[in-house]
Amino acid sequence: MTADHVWRQIEQLLATATGRVVLVAPFIKKEVFQAALAAVPTTVEEITCITRWSVPEIAAGVSDPEIAELAQRDGRATVRLCHNLHAKLFAADDRCLVGSANLTGKATGRVPAANVEILVEVSTTHPEVQRVLAELDASSVPGTVELAEQMREQAALMRDDEDCPRVVVPGLDEQPTRWLPETRNPERLYRVYNGRHRHIGSDVLVGVLRDLAHLDIGPGLDEQTFGAEVLARLHAMPELRALTAAGRMNLADAQCALLAAGDLTSEQAQRAVETIAAWLHYFDDVHFVPTGPWEIRQGRELT
C-alpha cells in the first residue's frame, strides 16, 4: 500500500462524479483542495466544500482560508463554514467516503511522514450521512473571500502575539487555562470580529483578539447573535455562578473569589471584576446597585 493511499481513495472517488461533489473536513490546506478540484470532472457543475475557520487555527497553519479564492476561481465550488465541525466526509453522487482524514498533506499522504488515517466507503443514502449533511446544510454559513482575508489578517496579528492562546485539540491537549475578559471596552469585540479595527491601537487590538480567541465564536454571525454567544460564555464562568443562580452578584465577593484562586494580585482581581462588570453591562440586561459594596443585579433598574 502506497503512502498516499488515502489521497488515491479520494481522487478516484471524485473522478467518478457526474452530478454533485461534497467535501467535508475541518482542516483543509490549499494545495490539497486545489488537487481535489482538479480531480473532479469538468462536467460536474456543483462542488460544495464545508470546513471550519478559526483565527487561532489559521495562525497555527492547520487551515488555509485561501481556499475561498480557489473556489471562486474554479467557478463551480462554494465554501461554507461550520464552527463545531469534526466530521470528515467526501461524496460524489451516491458514493461517499467517511473516516478520519482531513484535506491536508499529512492526512492524505501527499507529504512525507503521513498520518495514519482511515476512509471507508458507504452510500450517501446512509441515514447517518444524510443526518450529518442535513445538519451541516442548516448550520453552516458562507465562507467568502472577504471573510477569508479578514481572518487571515487577524491570524497574522495573533501569530505575532506571544500571549495568544494556542490551538487546543480536544482529548489530546490539556484544557486551556482560565480565561478572564481582557478588553475594557466590550463594544470593540464585534467591531474586531467583523474586521473593523483600522482605528484601534495595536496593543489594544491584540487584547481584543485574545478575548475573541478564548471566546471561540464561529465566524459570520450578526451582532445580536454574536452578543448572545458572548453572554452564554460569560454565564458559564465559575466567577459568575452567584449572578446566574440568584440574579445578583456582590462585586466584592467576586473579587475575593478571584483572589482565592491564588494567581491574581488584589489590583488584578479588582480590575478583572470591573472588566467583567463592564461586559455584563454591555451584553446583558443588568444594572448596578450601590448597596454598601456594589452589586450587579439581573433586570432593568426601576426608576
Q: Give residue 170's pLDDT.
A: 42
Q: Give residue 125's pLDDT.
A: 96
Q: Give residue 174's pLDDT.
A: 47
d(CA 68, CA 49): 10
Low-confidence ranges of the chain (pLDDT < 50): 168-175, 302-303
Query: In whole angstroms, how far apart are CA 236 and each of 10, 180, 239, 302?
Result: 41, 12, 9, 27
Q: Give residue 291's pLDDT.
A: 52
Per residue in 35-56, pLDDT (tens digit) is 999 999 999 999 999 999 998 8
- Burial zone of 197 (CB within 10 Å; 0-12 exposed, 13-18 middle, 19+ buried): buried
Domain locations along the chain: 5-148, 161-298
Cβ-Cβ contacts under 8 Å for 254 (sequence gap 6 or more):
239, 240, 242, 273, 276
111, amino acid identity:
V
- Burial zone of 171 (CB within 10 Å; 0-12 exposed, 13-18 middle, 19+ buried): exposed
**This prediction's pTM:** 0.80
Q: Give residue 296's pLDDT.
A: 63
CATH of 5-148 given 3.30.870.10, 3.90.110.10, 3.40.190.10, 3.40.50.300 = 3.30.870.10
Q: Give residue 302's pLDDT.
A: 42
